[in-house]
Structure 1
């Protein structure tokens, strides 16, 4: 197996997954509703998202929303989460494709994660929904299963890069720790919205991520 195999295999798995998403029915009306869902959930919380609230946001009577989403709120939630991940994954794929080695791949993953986490508020909403679902189980089972799979694909990119860098041991656990730190960047970075400060925050995240790998894993010669 080549030195690039692990991360490339993980990247191909993610690319294949998002290529399977069917957006042929993604009309302008449906997209406006999805954006309304993300806006309401981000500003007021998931519980505030009702078909009536979505209707007010897009200036459409609630019953008319069902012509776009016959499955009601559950269908809106599933599609919004899928659409959010598609955008996140597409940005990640485009960023890492230009990297030349495993270390650069890892660093780019951290960079992308931190910047999107801070600059796209929907990411915090996404994380909060998943955390809340682990406690109360409010997501439809099929949605929970699909989103869990998508989250695993993202973690697989980090795992592939770590393996290609020669790290050995419980890589899954180390990656989980790193991702938890990255998801919480809004709290520990105390970012005030100054774009000029982003590079420093990314550098801190990269150093911390490598320190985590070194603290929890062994290194070997590939």
Structure 2
């Protein structure tokens, strides 16, 4: 039986609330605290209702957080300009996102999900974000561009992880961002 527009909106709103609450709990208490029971209690629904929205339970909710996180990261990395002109702003946007959303970034970087990377099955938003990295670093061939983008992504991830665990001097953030952009700048 077809759903009314009002019912469809109510379902969408509840799903957004579930995901938002999972993010809030993770930011406050870590991902291990995000359980179906705690989520159901926090939003005032029964566990079966939560499973009706996310049949895969917690894993499906975390996967949604990961996709939403990559969507938000891609939006943050959309900076004016094209190619190498965008590299410093893209580096700064990536690192700011990881710093401002530590639990979401943690899920994006390390949660076990069914999301496939570096494949034709990779969700479009992930391919779009990686494409931004590729365009920013350039390269002589598709393969060279992909490797350079992977190296930039790995570098940004490493910086994000060290910063999240207070292993880097925050006073050097701007200098570090400029240095990363210089390392990956296109060479004639």
TM-score by length of 2: 0.71
**Separation of aligned partners in 1, 2:122 and 2:24:** 19
Which stretches in structure 1 are left out of the alignment for 5+ residues?
A: 1-22, 134-138
Q: CA deviation at 1:176?
A: 1.4
Listed one character per residue, the Cα deviations across residues 49-96 of structure 1 (whole Å, up to 9, x for unaligned) are: 332122123232212213433453344233322222222222322xx1
* Structure 2 partner of 1:115: 96
* Structure 2 partner of 1:177: 151
* Structure 1 partner of 2:3: none
TM-score by length of 1: 0.62
* Structure 2 partner of 1:85: 70
Aligned length: 171
Preserved CA contact (<8 Å) 1:82 1:147: no
Q: CA deviation at 1:158?
A: 1.7
Alignment of 1:44 with 2:30, yes or no, is yes
Residue 128 (structure 2) aligned to one of 126, 134, 153: 153
Alignment of 1:206 with 2:178, yes or no, is yes
Closer/same/farther in 2, CA of residues 188 and 68 from structure 1, 3 Å limit: closer
Closer/same/farther in 2, CA of residues 78 and 181 from structure 1, 3 Å limit: same
Listed one character per residue, the Cα deviations across residues 14-39 of structure 1 (whole Å, up to 9, x for unaligned) are: xxxxxxxxx97763321110012223
Preserved CA contact (<8 Å) 1:36 1:58: yes
**CA RMSD across the alignment:** 3.2
Closer/same/farther in 2, CA of residues 186 and 72 from structure 1, 3 Å limit: closer
Closer/same/farther in 2, CA of residues 213 and 173 from structure 1, 3 Å limit: farther
The secondary structure found in structure 2 opposite 1:76 is helix
* Structure 1 partner of 2:86: 105
**Separation of aligned partners in 2, 1:32 and 1:90:** 21
* Structure 1 partner of 2:54: 69
Closer/same/farther in 2, CA of residues 158 and 188 from structure 1, 3 Å limit: same
**Separation of aligned partners in 1, 2:10 and 2:67:** 14
